[in-house]
Amino acid sequence: MAFGGTPAEASSRADAGKRWGLLIDAGKCDANCTDCVTACKVENGWGNDEEHGHISAEQAPEWIRKVTLRDKETGREVSAPVMCQHCENPPCVDVCPTGASMQRIDGIVQVDKHICIGCRYCMMACPFKARSFVHEPLTDQSVNAPRGQGTVESCNLCAPRID
């Protein structure tokens, strides 16, 4: 966003004629593969846990995580990535007292770290558990995805690439 300005400015450039989303074939998602998680970490500058010295695994940022789903009747298991679903009516946006959680006209849900107060209401409202709170001081940030200690963050659907 360094080149695109604030999320509000990026939203003004968004195309109302498009609604962005992801389609993931869970049948092709190998249980032991975490390439999507690694790619997200690299793209958004949240590095590995050891590098950033997270106090615990619960406090590590997760814009995307892998889960294993099991059918109780058949026992069949599939692995799938879970991230922000960029809901049509996002509950995280509804509960944000400052307007930091916002939805662009093209459907992408973003957090403006400049006005986020870190109340975490959006984290509680998210049915996908797709938001993280930044606990630790930040170093080596990505130019395209600035982060802020004491704020909430989530998948931005790689909006800087779309914009």
List, for residues 19-78, the tens digit of each pLDDT value: 888 888 877 888 888 888 888 888 877 765 555 555 666 777 778 888 888 999 999 888
Instruction: Show me where the domains of the chain are located.
Output: 7-162
Name the CA radius of gyration of the chain, rounded: 16
List, for residues 122-140, the tens digit of each pLDDT value: 999 999 999 999 887 766 6
* Through-space distance between the first and last CA atoms of the chain, rounded to whole angstroms: 9
DSSP strands (E only) in 51-151: 64-70, 77-83, 101-103, 109-111, 131-133
List, for residues 28-37, the tens digit of each pLDDT value: 888 888 888 8
Taking the CA of residue 16 as centre, how many other CA atoms within 13 Å lie in the half-sphere pointing to its CB?
1
Q: Write down the pTM of the prediction.
A: 0.77
To the question of domain 7-162 being in CATH 3.90.1150.10, the answer is no
The DSSP bridge pattern shows strands 131-133 and 152-154 to be: antiparallel
SS (H, E, C) 113-128: CCCCCCCCHHHHHCCC
